[in-house]
Amino acid sequence: MSRRAQVVPIVRIGVALAALLLTAAGLAAPEPARAAKLVGGREQAAIAQAFTANSAHTKQLIVSIRASTVSAAWAVVKSVRPEGSGRTSSHSGPIRLLSTYYHRVDGQERTGRPPKAVRADLAQDFRVAIVYTGSGGESIRYKQLYRSVCAGAGGFTDQQDSTVNPMSWSVRYVVNLDDLLTAVRSSQGTMIVPSVSFDSLHSSLKAVQTLTRTVLDAGCDGKPSTFNCTTTYRLSESAADGMLSFAPGLGTEIGVPTAASSAGQCDPNDYTLGPSLWDSGATTALAGRLNLVGRSLPGNPYARVSVSWPNDSATLSAGFLASPCQGDAPACSDTFHWMGTVELQPVPES
């Protein structure tokens, strides 16, 4: 056998052995921790019941419950001991969250110490996005007859028509459930406020309002005068964080932060109707099934929830009849209609 024939098998064996070692190393290397997920429905209720049954948790409030994606049998309850007065992380330091781990064994929720990979998964800073989309239309018509200031026959007619079209939006807020700004217990109830940021990069808004006003004084000169005003709405970040709230027992309330610019003859003193209602709260949705802060979420917290005007409008749910024609139905008619969805989305660690 030649010298070359003796070397080749040795080289091949070395390459094969190296490949085998690399494969084994790859199998042994731990996967990066994956983000935990919120749980809801019966699973959430069972874990919450086990948590509150422990007398050591009497003074604690549940902030969130989430399950590990490394092992779905493990979950963590993040809770807080609320203060008796207001407190913010910027002035008093971060509010400390407590972690209680539960392991589902034979259908029972038992406290325990999770494996290292599960613990790392559940210990990650937890954020969730709220995405609210909607579209529709709005129209208002007003026609009223007044007495003319002139001596001639006939009255003073004021007619106004307002429409909002197009009207569509998609807004995204990111909520950090592990960063609380406020956790307060008072005689009026409890309030837990997590930090919220508005994601303007992944948000959009298209809304244009056209308002036409025609006045005719038949008692004077009898010549009609027409005024036109166009208002264009855009997203605003100045008060965006305040457009998301978590009302105890009511769910999650989501609004569209807007700023407006007008062109034309837009003197507000010349118009009876004023601005459209959609910018003043009509598009604020109340997703009652999404109690994001607390312990009441649907079985699949990440499923889309349908909202619409007026059924799921926060303005209507507060007991107000939101209509510019309220109290003046003979002279005024309006049509408001929009439909949309609210959806929770997991936010991976950056």
Give the tens place of pLDDT for each residue, 135-177.
Answer: 998 888 989 888 888 877 778 899 999 999 989 999 999 999 9
Tens of pLDDT along 193-249? 899 999 999 999 999 999 999 989 888 888 899 999 999 999 998 878 778 988 777
CA proximity to 299, closest of 22, 15, 123, 67: 67
pLDDT at residue 34 in the model: 55
pLDDT at residue 83 in the model: 81
Q: What share of the chain in percent tops pLDDT 90?
A: 45
pLDDT at residue 163 in the model: 92
pLDDT at residue 15 in the model: 35
The number of beta carbons lying within 10 Å of the beta carbon of residue 80 is 19
Locate tokens 């040795």: which residue? Answer: 10
Please check whether residue 30 lies inside any domain of the structure.
Answer: no
Query: Considering 91, 125, 159, which residue would you say is the last residue of a domain?
Result: 125
Look at residue 18 and tell me whether its pLDDT is greater than 80.
Answer: no
**What is d(CA 37, CA 128) in angstroms, rounded to the nearest whole number?**
9
Cβ atoms of 311 and 280 within 8 Å: the answer is no
Look at residue 25 and tell me whether its pLDDT is greater than 50.
Answer: no
Look at residue 97 and tell me whether its pLDDT is greater than 90.
Answer: yes
**What is d(CA 20, CA 218) in angstroms, rounded to the nearest whole number?**
97
Please check whether residue 158 lies inside any domain of the structure.
Answer: yes
Look at residue 89 and tell me whether its pLDDT is greater than 80.
Answer: no
Lookup: tokens for 5 = 């024939």
Do 279 and 153 fall into the same domain?
Answer: yes
Look at residue 90 and tell me whether its pLDDT is greater than 70.
Answer: no
pLDDT band at 310 (very low <50, low <70, confident <90, very high): confident
**pTM of the predicted protein model:** 0.82
* Domain with 192 in it: 128-346
Cβ atoms of 277 and 247 within 8 Å: the answer is no
Q: Which residue has the higher pLDDT, 74 or 280?
A: 74
Q: What's the chain's average pLDDT? A: 82
pLDDT at residue 39 in the model: 94
pLDDT at residue 277 in the model: 75
List, as one string, the DSSP characters of 95-129.
PPPEEEEEEEETTEEEE----HHHHHHHHS--EEE
Do 111 and 137 fall into the same domain?
Answer: no
Do 81 and 194 fall into the same domain?
Answer: no
Do 94 and 218 fall into the same domain?
Answer: no
**What is d(CA 198, CA 276) in angstroms, rounded to the nearest whole number?**
24
Q: Which residue has the higher pLDDT, 321 or 54?
A: 54
Query: Considering 125, 156, 171, which residue would you say is the last residue of a domain?
Result: 125
Do 341 and 289 fall into the same domain?
Answer: yes
pLDDT at residue 302 in the model: 96
Lowest mean pLDDT among 6-15, 48-57, 316-325: 6-15
Query: Considering 69, 95, 125, which residue would you say is the last residue of a domain?
Result: 125
Look at residue 1 and tell me whether its pLDDT is greater than 50.
Answer: no
The pLDDT of 118-132, averaged and rounded, is 94
The tally of domains found in the chain comes to 2
Do 212 and 313 fall into the same domain?
Answer: yes
